[in-house]
Amino acid sequence: MDTGKIMQMARLLNDTGLYDRILLKDARIGVIGLGYVGLPMAALFADKGFNVIGADLNPAIVERVNIGRSPINEVGLMDLVRRVVVNKKKLIATTEGSEVVEKSDIVIIIVQTPIDENKQPDLRALEGACRTVGQNLRKGQLIVIESTIPPGTTRKMVVPLLETESGLSSGDDFFVAYSPERAIPTDTLNEIKTNSRIIGGITPESEELARILYQNITIGEVLTEDVSVVEAVKLMENTYRDVNIALANEFALLCHGMGIDAMKAINLANNHPRVNVLTPGPGVGGHCIPKDPYFLINEAERIGVDLKLINNARKLNESMPHHVLKLIDESLKDSGKDLNDSKIAVLGIAYKGNTDDKRDTPSEVVIKNLLKADINVFSHDPFVTQDFGGKFSNNMEEAVTGADCLVIMTDHDAYRDLDLIKLKSIMNPPGIIVDGRRLLKPEAVKEKGMKYFGVGC
Ligand code: SAJ
């Protein structure tokens, strides 16, 4: 370690004591935002022995956490929350962000950063959290942002807000770091614990404090870089996924036209050691991938760079629910049926398999468009409790009985092994299936005398 670094460390130890307190698990951690990643992360720190206080504006979430229950369906989270709240008494929740800042040495902000109807970043939740933190900030605290943010936000928005509201100076009086969450919903706990973590501090001290903090909850590498680079890394990761899915979707549209099975082709292509094409589907949903590329697109427009590939990938993925609508119409016409007189059963409301999250789900576009055209829509999902205006049921048989067309929108495990004989007996003949997720084998469906239409075949 060079002399400068040693002096910085010495300053940390002397001035704040925070370094030691993190190592001793004596630092108190506050988490603002108890959502899909905020709660799992808060619970993991609590499980490691830290006293954690979390804030969420939603009183229902706070109430549920405080009785030791998880408000979301995520593998292992219910048990973990019960353990840290009820048994270990290491995690409590409140609706007051100010209380979190007052009672903590470290505050992690992990709130939603959506886009608005014009696809511009909507940073109101982050701004509100930064103001609350700033107004209650004390010398020596470490503030970490985990939300996905547009390039430059830490230096241009977060730090100035914290300084203005507190009257303190970052670097001299308090520490700021950016470390985006990188865990995939449905495997969140495991990925927080094992994925490598990237950290950018606005000073070397901030970076070092954040580094030793996160080493407590991950066995993955903890990598550090300039804060602006780290902001760009997170956006690159999700944009890469969006573009890769768009490639799969475009190929699927081509294969559909050519009468070739895109899944067979992609699976074989992925056999090549340097190819990893993702899976085509009915669209890209969730809170992250459909909006993160727009953070890049907006910044590119501002500085006059034309992002052709990223823009077109987004448009293509946004068009996929409309391709499903086209498949529904085509499949009914093929059997001499009229969409207007048909009953459509949509299987899957969540944006992807085995989650209860329906934010930005492609099913919303499909269901709302069918309803707008006055079509009779029934829907089912094992995890959610309502859809977007159709007749929803948690009982699949109820949703599917009498349907002319069954549309698979979500890759829930529960839909992988559908009983085709049963389906045929309760659907209107011939029993049309539009498989947006390619969960069923076309040959198996056709063998039963039913009709199969899938994305990419
Ligand atoms: N999808 C496809 N085909 C695929 C994979 C996904 O159509 O081959 C669809 C899904 O069905 C879903 C959407 O894309 O509708 C997004 O799902 P996802 O599983 O790709 O991603 P998320 O949004 O659940 O989580 C992503 C992850 N990012 C990456 O893997 C690069 C996660 O690690 C991030 O933490 C998360 O975004 C986030 O919060 O940013």
Distance CA 52, CA 33 (A): 13
Residue 237 CA, closest ligand 1 atom number: 31
- Partner residues linked to 198 by β-bridges: 223
The answer to whether residue 446 is catalytic is: no
Tell me the per-residue pLDDT of 266-300, one tens digit each, with 9 for 90 and over.
999 999 999 999 999 999 999 999 999 999 999 99
Q: Which of 90, 130, 234, 457 is catalytic?
A: 234
Q: Average model confidence (pLDDT) for the chain? A: 96
Tell me the per-residue pLDDT of 116-138, one tens digit each, with 9 for 90 and over.
999 999 999 999 999 999 999 99
What's the pLDDT at 64? 98
241 in contact with ligand 1, CB cutoff 6 A: yes
408 in contact with ligand 1, CB cutoff 6 A: no
Total residue length of the chain: 457
Q: Of all protein residues, whose CA lies closest to atom 26 belonging to ligand 1? A: 184
Cα angle, residue 96 at apex, residues 91 and 100 outer, rounded to 5°: 50
The answer on pLDDT for 70 being more than 90 is yes
The answer on pLDDT for 5 being more than 60 is no
Residue 286 CA, closest ligand 1 atom number: 23
351 in contact with ligand 1, CB cutoff 6 A: yes
Q: pLDDT over 70 for what percent of the chain?
A: 96
**Residue 133 alpha carbon to ligand 1 centre in Å:** 30
30 in contact with ligand 1, CB cutoff 6 A: no
The answer on pLDDT for 339 being more than 80 is yes
3-class DSSP state for residue 89? Answer: coil
The answer on pLDDT for 13 being more than 60 is no
What's the pLDDT at 314? 98
Average pLDDT value for residue range 227-250: 98
The answer on pLDDT for 9 being more than 80 is no
Q: Of all protein residues, whose CA lies closest to atom 28 belonging to ligand 1? A: 238
CB neighbour class for 338 (10 Å; exposed up to 12, middle 13-18, buried from 19): exposed
Ligand 1 pocket: which of 113, 241, 381 to mutate (most atoms <8 Å of CB)? Answer: 241
Residue 183 CA, closest ligand 1 atom number: 35
Distance CA 223, CA 234 (A): 13
284 in contact with ligand 1, CB cutoff 6 A: yes
Average pLDDT value for residue range 360-369: 98
The answer to whether residue 234 is catalytic is: yes
Average pLDDT value for residue range 410-421: 97
365 in contact with ligand 1, CB cutoff 6 A: no
The answer on pLDDT for 79 being more than 60 is yes
286 in contact with ligand 1, CB cutoff 6 A: yes
The answer on pLDDT for 445 being more than 80 is yes
What's the pLDDT at 67? 98
Tell me the per-residue pLDDT of 158-182, one tens digit each, with 9 for 90 and over.
999 999 999 999 989 999 999 999 9
Q: Which of 288, 343, 358, 457 is catalytic?
A: 288
What's the pLDDT at 387? 87
H-state helical runs in 259-307:
262-269, 292-303
**Range 206-211, long-range pairs (CB < 8 A, 24+ positions):** 206/142, 206/171, 206/175, 206/176, 206/177, 207/177, 208/8, 208/9, 208/12, 208/19, 209/12, 209/18, 209/19, 209/22, 209/106, 209/142, 209/175, 209/177, 210/142, 210/144, 210/175, 210/177, 210/179
288 in contact with ligand 1, CB cutoff 6 A: yes
